[in-house]
Structure formats: structure tokens, C-alpha cells
Amino acid sequence: MIIDGKTELYGIIGNPVRHSLSPAMHNAAFAVMGMNWVYVPMEVTDIKSGMTGLKGLGFKGVSVTVPHKATVIPFLDEIDPVAEQIGAVNTLLFRPNHAGEIICRGFNTDWLGANTALAEQIKLQSSSVLIIGAGGAAKAVGFGLVQAGADVFICNRTAEKGEALAQWLGCSFLSMDAVNTFDADVLINTTSVGMEPDFEGIVVPPECLNQFSVVMDIVYAPLQTRLLREAALVGCATIDGLSMLLYQGAAQFKIWTGGTPPQLIMRSALEEELRIRRGNL
Ligand code: ATR
């Protein structure tokens, strides 16, 4: 990679951000497309000064991760209606308006990432989908699936939080116990259960996995979580956590370039980065 006076700046803001796989994914995409662009991780504590800095330094596009997905919204000039509805932004686009002023517009591609990954395995319209968890990831995933016409159910350890999300989505809430006797086409884990070093963690009892056809995990470290391993053993189709990350990133690439993202290269870069990190453990 050659960085010179014409290099365009992209990156990711979050806190912490050093664990992010997005730099590996986007830099690989920029390189293979022959773009003189670079994507850097930036740990931002104060979102207001962070946003002023990005504009002042001439950044063209930025990813936004925890804890800034909602707090960034007051500092945008424009927001995509879907991101506004979800109340979370994971993508920024900086462009000049007709008067030459730099305008920052916020988007949400997380929901698109989940929908694209799932649509490779199952028709979303009318499919029943059980989502475990009620945090930001569950909200974006649930929103996308409701939009696609799926029949969504929310299940969460803390009933109050789960019920609130279910109400917002206009769908039903299930207690964790109810999962044992609940059949659905798809099960999605949006919690951190099973993330390293909790290699044996599994968010639902393995005995109930044969009640689903497709099982998706948003955890990507390890790539083969216990949930996915047990699901594959009973014949479910499985979708790993890199898929949602890849497709939300591919949608960001489209927003920034208007072009087709090199998805195979992006996926390989993500897998390679995970391998390097495992080697460094
Ligand atoms: P994010 O915004 O990244 O989705 P979050 O807001 O911290 O993350 O949400 C994490 C979700 O995972 C929550 O719904 C949490 O359940 P609670 O609402 O009961 O806290 C769920 N979660 C985390 N650890 C869990 C565990 N060990 N078992 C079950 N659910 C868990």
C-alpha cells in the first residue's frame, strides 16, 4: 500500500476499537480495486470532538461501532430514514453539497448484513425467526427481518428488555424457558454467549436445536461457536458471525464507492485476520 498526498481517508470509530476486523476487510477491498484509499481504526472517547475532527481532516467515509452508534446521531447533517427509525448509525458518508460544504450523512447497514446472510439460506418472507437477545444487534437484525416479512420472536434473559424490544418491533416475546418447546425456521444468537474465551458457552440447550432449520450466530471469535457446532451435528444449516460482518461491510463499500464490493476478497481478508490473531494468542 502506498500512502501519498492523494490518499483518501476512511476508518472506524468506536471505543474500544483495536479488536475490529473492519480495517482488514476494507483495506483488502480498496487494494484489490486499485483505490488509493486507506481505512484506519480510531478510538474515540468524545463523539462531539471526534465528529468535528473527522470533518476537519477530510475523512470521506467512516464506520461507527459501540458505543457511538446512537450518540453520533445529533452530530450528523443528514440521516437515512431507516437508520433514523432504528435509532442507530454504523456508516458515515462525507460529501460536499452544492455550496461546497461538507455534509455528513448517517446510514445503518447492520440490518442489511443480517438479511443478506440469512437470505442465502432461506426465504425470509413468512419464515419464523427466533432472536435471542435484546441489545443493539438484536434491534437491527429484528428490524430487517420484520421489513422482509418474517415472523419474528424475541427471547431474552431479562424479560423487561426483551418485551420492550418485542413491542417496538411489533412482535411476540418468549421467555428463555419457552425456547425448549418452541419450533421455528431460524434461530439467531445476538448475545455474546460463546465468544472466546467462553468456548463452551451456548445460549440455548443443545437438545432444542433440532427444532430449527437454520442457526445463525453473530459471534465470530471463535468462528465455529459451540452453538454452530451443535446445530450442524443435528442437521441445521449454519451461518457464522463473519457473514453479517461481511455483508454489512459490503453495503458500506457500496455507499462509499457506488460500486460492487469484492465480497470474496473481503471474506478471505476477515478469515485471514482471524487466523493471524489466533496464531498470536
Ligand atoms: P449489543 O448492543 O452489542 O447487542 P448489548 O446491548 O450488551 O449488546 O446486548 C447484549 C444482549 O445479550 C442482551 O440482551 C443480554 O441480555 P440481558 O438483556 O438479560 O442483559 C444478552 N446476554 C448477554 N450475556 C448473556 C448471557 N450470558 N445469557 C443470556 N443472554 C445474555
The structural domains of the chain, ordered by start, are: 8-108+244-279 (3.40.50.10860), 111-239 (3.40.50.720)
260: pLDDT confidence band, cut at 50, 70 and 90? very high
C-alpha span between 263 and 15 (Å, rounded): 27
192 C-alpha to ligand 1 centroid (Å) = 7
193 lines ligand 1 (CB under 6 A): yes
Handedness of CA 189, 195, 199, 200 (dihedral sign): negative
- The DSSP symbol for 7 reads P
158 band by pLDDT with thresholds 50, 70 and 90: very high
Most informative mutation of 131, 154, 157 for ligand 1 (most atoms within 8 A of CB): 157
Mean pLDDT across the chain: 97
Going by pLDDT thresholds of 50, 70 and 90, the confidence category of residue 193 is very high
Burial of 279 (0-12, 13-18, 19+ CB in 10 A): exposed
Instruction: Specify whether the CB–CB gap between 63 and 11 falls below 8 A.
Output: yes
Q: What is the DSSP string of 220-243?
A: -SSSS-HHHHHHHHTT-EEE-HHH
User: What pLDDT score was predicted for residue 274?
Assistant: 94
Q: Whose CA is nearest to atom 20 of ligand 1?
A: 158
Is 279 a residue whose pLDDT tops 90? Answer: no
Angstrom distance (rounded) from CA 269 to CA 22 = 9
Looking at per-residue pLDDT, the higher value among 1 and 211 belongs to 211
Average pLDDT, stretch 11-17?
97
Q: How far is the CA of 67 from the centre of ligand 1 (A)?
A: 15
DSSP 189: E
**CB 135 less than 6 A from any atom of ligand 1:** yes
pLDDT of 281 over the 70 cut? no
Q: Is the peptide bond before 222 cis (omega within 30 degrees of 0)?
A: yes
Let me know: does 184 contact 153? Beta carbons within 8 Å: yes
Determine if ligand 1 sits within 6 Å of the CB of residue 176.
no
pLDDT of residue 238: 98
- Give the pLDDT band (50/70/90) at residue 88: very high
48, 60, 69, 254: the catalytic one is 69
Q: Which one-letter DSSP state was computed for residue 197?
A: T
pLDDT of residue 168: 98
Known catalytic residue at 161: no
pLDDT for 223 beyond 80: yes
pLDDT at 134: 97
Closest-CA residue to 50 (of 31, 72, 70): 72
**Predicted TM-score of the model (pTM):** 0.94
Q: Measure the CA–CA gap between 13 and 18, rounded to whole angstroms.
A: 10
Q: How confident is the model at residue 280 (pLDDT cuts 50, 70, 90)?
A: low
CA 276 to chain CA centroid, Å, is 22
The verdict on the CB of residue 134 being under 6 Å from ligand 1 is yes
Residue 152 pLDDT exceeds 70? yes
Please state the three-class secondary structure of 129-170 as a single string: EEEECCCHHHHHHHHHHHHCCCEEEEECCCHHHHHHHHHHHC
The answer to whether residue 278 scores a pLDDT higher than 90 is: no
The count of other CB atoms within 10 Å of the CB of residue 36 is 14
